Amino acid sequence: MIRAAADLGMSEFTLRKICKRYLIPLPARGHFNHKNPKKRPPKPALPTMKRLK
Q: Within a domain: residue 39?
A: no
Instruction: Count the domains in the chain.
Output: 1
37 belongs to a structural domain = no
Structural domain includes residue 41: no
Give the predicted TM-score (pTM) of the model: 0.60
- In a domain, residue 13? The reply is yes
- 24 CB-contact burial (10 Å; exposed 0-12 / middle 13-18 / buried 19+): middle
Exposed, middle or buried: residue 16 (CB in 10 Å: 0-12, 13-18, 19+)? Answer: middle
* Model pLDDT, residue 53: 54
pLDDT tens digits, one per residue of 1-53: 788 889 999 999 999 999 999 888 888 777 667 667 677 667 778 777 765 55
- Please report the pLDDT score of residue 22 as a whole number: 87
**Domain coverage including residue 21:** 1-31+46-53
